[in-house]
Amino acid sequence: TKGQGADIVYGLTICCGDILEKDCKSCISTKFPNNKGATIWYYYCTLKYHNLDFFGQIDCDTVFFTNTPENMNTNQLIRQKKGEWLAQLVGQASVNAQMFSTEDFDVGDNYKLHGLVQCPRDLSSIDCMKCLNDSIRFIPKCCDLSKGVQIFSATCDLRFETIYHKKLVDN
């Protein structure tokens, strides 16, 4: 938070939990525009700022997604198990102090999906879970069969892909 009265601005940055702090700081410091309010998604970080206080508020209506063009196995059992895996990730993140969780899902066909879900720590556990579950419900609309999906709302991040970014996940 910076400023007073009509000149106040509230800001929040969220860096992907699996990157180094220096990479996070670099992403944030080089990507900051001069608007009154915005949510900007980059691969390693999200930048959100506004002249209204949004801390602790959930916003799952603002959504950005990307997905890989390569599709996974369309087997119904695999899709069901993928849903259970994502639900487990959400449950873990919502009770974790870091509001962050990663886990692998063995799809078969000689590959794994590496999942990551994350909320900002100013959210309650319930709001974190709601936001991430909304992201899961968005998957059938955009990218149900994709091997790689990244869904970023203004409040939380959900991603799974075949590429594993190990940097800090194991620490």
Q: Tell me: pLDDT of 97 over 70.
A: yes
pLDDT band at 91 (very low <50, low <70, confident <90, very high): very high
In the chain, domain spans: 5-50, 63-161
What is the total residue count of the chain? Answer: 171
| pTM (predicted TM-score) | 0.73
CATH number of the 63-161 domain: 3.30.430.20
Residue whose C-alpha is closest to residue 119's, from 68, 153, 144: 153
pLDDT digits (tens, 9 = 90+) for 26-80: 877 776 555 567 777 777 777 777 777 878 888 777 777 888 888 877 777 888 8
pLDDT digits (tens, 9 = 90+) for 120-170: 898 999 999 999 999 999 888 888 888 888 888 888 999 998 876 555 455
Q: How many CB atoms lie within 10 A of CB 163?
A: 9
